[in-house]
Amino acid sequence: MTKIEKKIFDWIGNNILLLFLGAVTVLGIVIRMCGINFQSGDYNSFLNPWWTQIKNAGLNGLGTQVGNYNIPYQIITYLFTLLPFGPLVSYKLLSIIFDIVLAGSAALLVNAFDKNKSHLKAVVTYSVVFCSLTVVFNSAFWAQCDSIYVSFILLAIYFLKKEKDIASFAMLGIALAFKLQMIFILPVFLFYYVCTRRVSILHFLIIPAADFIMCLPAIILGRNPLDLITIYAEQTDYGKLIQMNCPNIYAFMCDGSNIENYYQFKTLSIVLTVTILGAALCMLVYKRVDLRDSNNFMLAAIWSVFTCLIFLSSMHERYGYLLDILTIIYAVVTVKRVWLPIVCNLVSLRGYCFYLFKYDVLDIKLTAVIFVGVYAYVSYIFIKEVVLNGKKLEDKKPALTETQTEIGEESDFSEISTEEAEENDISEISQMSNEVLNTIE
């Protein structure tokens, strides 16, 4: 073997994971190209007409609402109308870009949670997330933008882990600016606040502030600031349907058609969800669970999102997107329960096939049996591994900072009796006296 060949092989060996990431990215993009010309019902009925309105109205058109997506998405859509692409390619291009951001954020989070800081786990996470069929269908076929808000949620968790609290809550605000479904992750941040007492309630004010800043260009052009609230309020009442192809508990009660007493039913679902989440918070506080622990936090996050999906009404099939990604991250970090992300992603895939291709792989009530069953199991391991047996807060022994952990600095916080302390003090005083005498001599 020549020297040049040896150098080439050495370089490949040293950069094999990077090369693999590049190959996975190319493969994922090629897969997405298969659906680039696919037009979903949402695109034909909503996205394409919105594009036409936004393009015709120009910059000043940002002062009025177009469609029922929040203001930042309308701003980005306007910017894309200035580029030489059509509406279909532009919508999908935006989402595909954020698919890469999503996969990168997931890999970053795995690296932060993994005690061994394994680059291989990070690469596996990126690959699985980027090539996940639900992620591919969401962007390249459906032209939806769920990868945007989920990317910022993952970054919010990452920064919280790094104790960069302002950045963390700012990421939540940006996620909220794109999708109301950000609220699915909010309970675990509340759990974290109450249980660890490490962040302030004032940090939560950063969320609406970041949302407002994201919408500021349109507000300057005349948009009513109240639109930040009314847009999402109108979204939750769209169609006034209790069940919208999400296989939760309401799949057993109705087929998605309008039902009487919609608002009472909707209110009841919110009260039920808040009650269950509140009960979990009480248990976490009573058991003094330390949510700074990675396993505790991840299971609490998965359970929180899952609870919202199961008990809130008017859930779409796409709303399981965040749950799918979180379960992938959990499985890679812990290297156990690999079946959990597989089942969750398959349940979501059933909804995608039903909407995009009009193909009902499995009856929604049977799917709901599986989904609710998985939720019951997640609730069981949440109570067992987090509430009952999870790492607890300690009064005497403060948590090590991340820097201390990385360089191996550990302090001895074991309790010392009063007599032992006095003996130590006397010994130190005696040693100091001897040193002084020696100096004088």
Q: Is residue 421 part of a domain?
A: no
Amino acid 440: pLDDT: 36
Q: Is residue 295 part of a domain?
A: yes
CA neighbor of 398 nearest in space, from 390, 389, 388, 409: 409
CA neighbor of 185 nearest in space, from 133, 91, 109: 109
Residue 244 has pLDDT above 90, yes or no: no
Contacts of 140 (CB under 8 A, 6+ apart): 31, 32, 33, 34, 35, 36, 38, 92, 95, 96
Instruction: Give the C-alpha distances (Å, rounded to integers) separating 171 from 91, 278, 345, 437.
Output: 22, 24, 25, 62
- The residue-averaged pLDDT of 150-175 equals 97
Q: Is residue 308 part of a domain?
A: yes
Q: Is residue 433 part of a domain?
A: no
Q: Is residue 128 part of a domain?
A: yes
Residue 419 has pLDDT above 60, yes or no: no
CA neighbor of 95 nearest in space, from 179, 172, 212: 179
Q: Is residue 440 part of a domain?
A: no
- The residue-averaged pLDDT of 221-226 equals 86
Cβ neighbours of 34 (radius 10 Å)? 11
Residue 129 has pLDDT above 70, yes or no: yes
d(CA 172, CA 154): 9
Instruction: Give the C-alpha distances (Å, rounded to integers) separating 411 from 334, 398, 414.
Output: 27, 10, 9
d(CA 324, CA 281): 23
Residue-by-residue DSSP string for 195-222? HH--S-GGGGGHHHHHHHHHHHHHHHTT
Q: Is residue 213 part of a domain?
A: yes
CA neighbor of 361 nearest in space, from 249, 241, 247, 239: 247
CA 300 to chain centre: 12
Helix (H) or strand (E) holding 309: helix 294-311
Handedness of CA 90, 96, 102, 108 (dihedral sign): negative
* Percent of the chain with pLDDT strictly greater than 70: 87
Residue 421: pLDDT band with limits 50, 70, 90: very low
Which residues are 316's β-sheet partners?
244, 245
Residue holding tokens 């490490």? 198
Amino acid identity, residue 189? F
Residue 231: pLDDT band with limits 50, 70, 90: confident
Residue holding tokens 């109205």? 57
pTM greater than the 0.85 cutoff:
yes
pLDDT digits (tens, 9 = 90+) for 69-111: 889 999 999 999 999 999 999 999 999 999 999 999 999 999 9
Q: Could you tell me the residue range of the domain that residue 372 belongs to? A: 19-388
Residue-by-residue DSSP string for 220-281? HTT--TTHHHHHHHHHHTGGG-SEEB--SGGGGT--SS--SSHHHHHHHHHHHHHHHHHHHH
* Percent of the chain with pLDDT strictly greater than 90: 69
Indicate the number of domains in the chain. Answer: 1
pLDDT digits (tens, 9 = 90+) for 342-366: 999 999 999 999 999 998 889 999 9
Residue holding tokens 């609730």? 379
Q: Is residue 309 part of a domain?
A: yes
d(CA 118, CA 405): 16
Token pair of 153, please? 């949620």
Query: For 12-26, 327-341, 418-432, which range has the lowest pLDDT when averaged over its residues?
Result: 418-432
